[in-house]
Every structure is written in C-alpha cells, then in structure tokens.
A and B are shown apart, each in its own frame.
Chain A
Amino acid sequence: NAGVTQTPKFQVLKTGQSMTLQCAQDMNHNSMYWYRQDPGMGLRLIYYSASEGTTDKGEVPNGYNVSRLNKREFSLRLESAAPSQTSVYFCASHRGVNTGELFFGEGSRLTVL
C-alpha cells in the first residue's frame, strides 16, 4: 500500500543546477500538490493540480515549474537551483471528498550549496 511516493529522498545540488522531484500516487486521486517546509515557516504551497491536465500556482511558485504527467504523477522542477530553495519538499494528493484531507509523501530533502 504505497500511497504517495516521492523520489529522490535526498539530493544535494550546486547553485544553478537543475533537477526534478518526482511524485506518484496510487490512490486514484484527482488533485495533487507540492509543499515546502522550512524551519519556523510551516508548510507552504508551491503548486497544485486540481485535476489531470491543469496546474496552478500556490503561495511560493517562483523558481519552480510543475508537470502533471498523468493522473498518477506530478513532478516539480527547479530549473536553476538557488540556496533559498534548500528545504524539505512534500508531495500530497486529495481524494476529492469534502473533508479537505490531504495524503502526504515522506518528503524529499534538498540542499543547494
């Protein structure tokens, strides 16, 4: 019972390098999300996809791009990484009922030097 799976779990980048964080869910959820968690800041929404084929900006989208590849997969791309993007990234999905509950992956820890 995998739920939401994120890869990689850890990554170290140099400033200016690019990378993609992958996320897949096996719960047939329509909506998917990318959050980042920073000390003292809680979780902040980067981008979300309400349904396959749509994506929208969240609270902190600058420096990121996303792709909703299909219903299962939602990737987050950093085109030119900056030290300010050092964070823990969480992917989540929503099953579509009215309770608002999101299911989260285990997180990807990214360090930009």
Chain B
Amino acid sequence: DQQVKQNSPSLSVQEGRISILNCDYTNSMFDYFLWYKKYPAEGPTFLISISSIKDKNEDGRFTVFLNKSAKHLSLHIVPSQPGDSAVYFCAARGSTGGGNKLTFGTGTQLKVEL
C-alpha cells in the first residue's frame, strides 16, 4: 500500500519555464512533507519542506504547496535550469511512533532542456 505516490515517472520542461512536480498521499497523520533531489550515483539531498499546518513554503526558485483537503502537494521550480535535471522524491513524516521516519514516493525524473 503506497502511502505516498508520485504518479508521473518523468517530466520534461524547457529551460526558463516552470516545472511542477506532484505528489499525493493517503495518510492524514503525516505532519511534515519534504522534497529531495537526487543526482545519479549520489545520495538524495534535501530541497525544501513544509509543515502540515501551512499551505505554502518558498525558498528561492523552489516553492512547495500543500492542499490538505486533497492530500496533495506540489513542488514548483521557477525558472527551471539545466542543473535542476534530477530525480525528485516526495517524502512524508508520520506524526506518531517517533523516530522521524520518512515515507518516500517513487520519484519523478525531471529533465530540463535547453
């Protein structure tokens, strides 16, 4: 049972345009949501996060939106750059049980073309 879903395995956008990556979740007990970026042969690196009590968080070119009623979050990258080409993972943290355990989605491969 996939609690965090990224339904688009890949996304291609032109340099300078907006990239929108989507993520859906089923567990209403998640209290924190994070986005990670992963380049080939490297570990995932943290990009941006949002608490479940907020609906938007912005950091430079990256903005994450959370729609709790729809159990949906999205990552906007504006403007997209070739260096943004990577796999993006959505992750969610359960608010019970402790241990800061993250549940990850399956990832979306973003390709930013010149």
Q: Which residues of A contact B (CB under 8 A)?
A: 4, 31, 33, 35, 40-45, 48, 50, 56, 58-59, 90, 92, 94, 98-107
How distant is the Cα of A111 from the Cα of B6 in the complex, in angstroms?
27
Report if B100 contacts A (CB, 8 A): yes
**Tier of interface size on chain B:** 20 to 34
User: Is there an interface contact between B106 and A106, defined as CB atoms closer than 8 Å?
Assistant: no
Q: Which residues of B contact A (CB under 8 A)?
A: 4, 6, 9, 32, 34, 36, 41-46, 49, 89, 91, 93, 98-107
Interface pairs (13), CB distance under 8 Å: A41-B106, A42-B4, A42-B89, A42-B105, A45-B103, A50-B98, A58-B101, A94-B100, A100-B49, A100-B100, A102-B46, A103-B46, A106-B43
Chain A residues whose C-beta falls within 8 Å of the C-beta of B45 in the assembled complex: 104
Which A residue sits closest to B98, measured CB to CB? A50
How distant is the Cα of A31 from the Cα of B6 in the complex, in angstroms?
27
